[in-house]
């Protein structure tokens, strides 16, 4: 085992620690990024992805680990922000030996970083990694873990959407509203159920025929459209991106008819100016890293010994956090994304400062 050297890319100067990990025998190449441990050990998932080059992998882990610091801070967790990427094709390169080699690198950090699932890694992979490190979450129920984190991810998105509805229409309910759900994966399916239970009507789309078949069979009252472009142009009150990142670009914002955007996808803004474009069009955007934090709340609860009701209660508070962000945004005349960043930075600074008080 050893380390491999970065060839350039994004400046990691704002991060506490960036670790390059390599095990030639298993083919492991991984990068672990720790943005901040001001609030506690860094927590964030491991992404297994076939990056085009090392710089792309590095840029991704730097962006994602920073985002996790802000997400964890606003979720009220005493955890910092970190993330890891494994450079490779999970369908071809993933093996027990590779995952266990990666687990040993996580263990070598001595608890500064807890890992979890992300794109290309699953609960079963976390169980394998846990054979080499105790600093892993997102494990199977059989091993004392929380299991599928999409359950509370969707619940948190629903709470954020309720807060947005209250802000725009005066009542914290989606009853009588038409919600467009883009992506009927695990989060989109759970969210659809919550919306229908609340009295909303749902229009949805997905690139997967199996997901569309699920919708037809499970919720025949859901209207299905051909693609995301048709969904965005539809007569909807709320747009819920629940698939890939970058869902909100210039063309989408120009076409969008919804008054509210609240969804489960990560990194929804295609570039930093999109939040202002949304605000200029009178569209309320609830920051994705705020409303989709239910998943990280769920896996973080494993560190204490998982209790679903406790984790669900914490995820329900996403309603209050979203409400406070929207209030602050109005008071300070800034987009909600900027208000969310300020609240996260304030908590990291104020609570993090307490660690300077020496305890014997």
CA–CA gap between residue 177 and residue 196 (Å, rounded) = 10
Catalytic residue among 71, 83, 94, 189: 83
- What is the CA angle 31-311-260, rounded to 5? 80
Going by C-alpha positions, the residue among 161, 149, 234 that lies closest to residue 192 is: 161
Residue 81 phi/psi, 5-degree rounding, is -115, 130
**Token pair recorded at residue 143:** 């091993």
CA–CA gap between residue 107 and residue 73 (Å, rounded) = 24
Sheet hosting strand 284-285, strand order edge to edge: 223-224, 201-205, 178-182, 238-241, 260-261, 284-285
pLDDT at position 23 is 98
3-state secondary structure of 280: helix
CA–CA gap between residue 230 and residue 205 (Å, rounded) = 9
**Token pair recorded at residue 358:** 């020496």
pLDDT at position 178 is 98
DSSP 56-69: HHHHHHHHHHHHHH
**Token pair recorded at residue 275:** 């939040």
pLDDT at position 214 is 95
Tell me the CA distances in angstroms from 212 to 40, 65, 184, 191, 360, one per residue in order: 41, 33, 8, 15, 59
**pLDDT 10s digits, 168-212:** 999 999 999 999 999 999 899 999 999 999 999 999 999 999 999
Tell me the CA distances in angstroms from 226 to 91, 223, 231, one per residue in order: 29, 10, 8
pLDDT at position 246 is 86
**Token pair recorded at residue 86:** 């494994």
Please confirm, yes or no, whether 83 is among the known catalytic residues. Answer: yes
pLDDT at position 1 is 55
Q: What residues in the chain have per-residue pLDDT under 70?
A: 1-13
Question: HSE of 355 in the Cβ direction (CA atoms, 13 Å)?
Answer: 11
pLDDT at position 2 is 55
pLDDT at position 8 is 41
pLDDT at position 149 is 86
pLDDT at position 148 is 81
Going by C-alpha positions, the residue among 34, 32, 124, 153 that lies closest to residue 86 is: 32
**Token pair recorded at residue 18:** 């960036």
- What is the CA angle 178-206-174, rounded to 5? 20
Q: How far is CA 8 from the centre of its chain?
A: 27
CA–CA gap between residue 110 and residue 108 (Å, rounded) = 5
Residue that is written with structure tokens 């950090």 in the block: 109
Going by C-alpha positions, the residue among 38, 273, 287 that lies closest to residue 161 is: 287
By CB atoms closer than 10 A (0-12, 13-18, 19+), residue 219 is middle
CA–CA gap between residue 160 and residue 154 (Å, rounded) = 10
């Amino acid at each position: 085992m050893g380390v491999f050297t970065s060839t350039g890319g994004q400046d990691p100067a704002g991060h506490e620690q960036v670790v390059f990990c390599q095990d030639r025998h298993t083919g492991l190449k991984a990068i672990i990024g720790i943005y901040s441990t001001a609030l506690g050990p860094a927590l964030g998932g491991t992404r297994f992805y076939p990056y085009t080059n090392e710089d792309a992998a590095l840029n991704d882990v730097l962006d994602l680990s920073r985002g996790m610091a802000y997400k964890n801070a606003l979720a009220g967790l005493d955890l910092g922000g970190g993330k890891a990427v494994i450079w490779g094709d999970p369908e071809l390169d993933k093996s027990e030996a590779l995952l266990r080699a990666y687990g040993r690198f996580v263990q070598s950090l001595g608890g500064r970083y807890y890992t979890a699932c992300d794109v290309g890694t699953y609960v079963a992979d976390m169980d394998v990694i846990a054979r080499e490190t105790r600093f892993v979450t997102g494990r199977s129920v059989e091993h004392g873990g929380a299991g599928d984190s999409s359950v509370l991810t969707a619940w948190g998105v629903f709470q954020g959407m309720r807060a947005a509805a209250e802000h725009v229409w005066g009542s914290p309910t989606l009853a009588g509203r038409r919600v467009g759900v883009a992506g009927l994966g695990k989060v989109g399916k759970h969210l659809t159920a919550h919306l229908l239970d609340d009295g909303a009507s749902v229009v949805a789309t997905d690139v997967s025929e199996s997901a569309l078949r699920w919708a037809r069979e499970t919720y025949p009252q859901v209207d299905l459209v051909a693609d995301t472009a048709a969904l965005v142009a539809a007569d909807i009150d709320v747009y819920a991106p629940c698939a890939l990142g970058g869902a909100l670009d210039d063309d989408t914002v120009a076409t969008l008819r919804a008054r509210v955007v609240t969804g489960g996808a990560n990194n929804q803004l295609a570039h930093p100016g999109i939040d202002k474009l949304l605000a200029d069009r009178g569209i309320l955007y609830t920051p994705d890293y705020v409303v989709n934090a239910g998943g990280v709340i769920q896996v973080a609860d494993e560190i204490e010994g998982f209790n679903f009701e406790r984790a669900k209660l914490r995820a329900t508070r996403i309603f209050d956090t979203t409400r406070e962000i929207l209030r602050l945004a109005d008071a300070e005349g800034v987009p909600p994304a900027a208000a969310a960043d300020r609240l996260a930075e304030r908590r990291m600074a104020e609570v993090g400062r307490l660690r300077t008080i020496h305890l014997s």
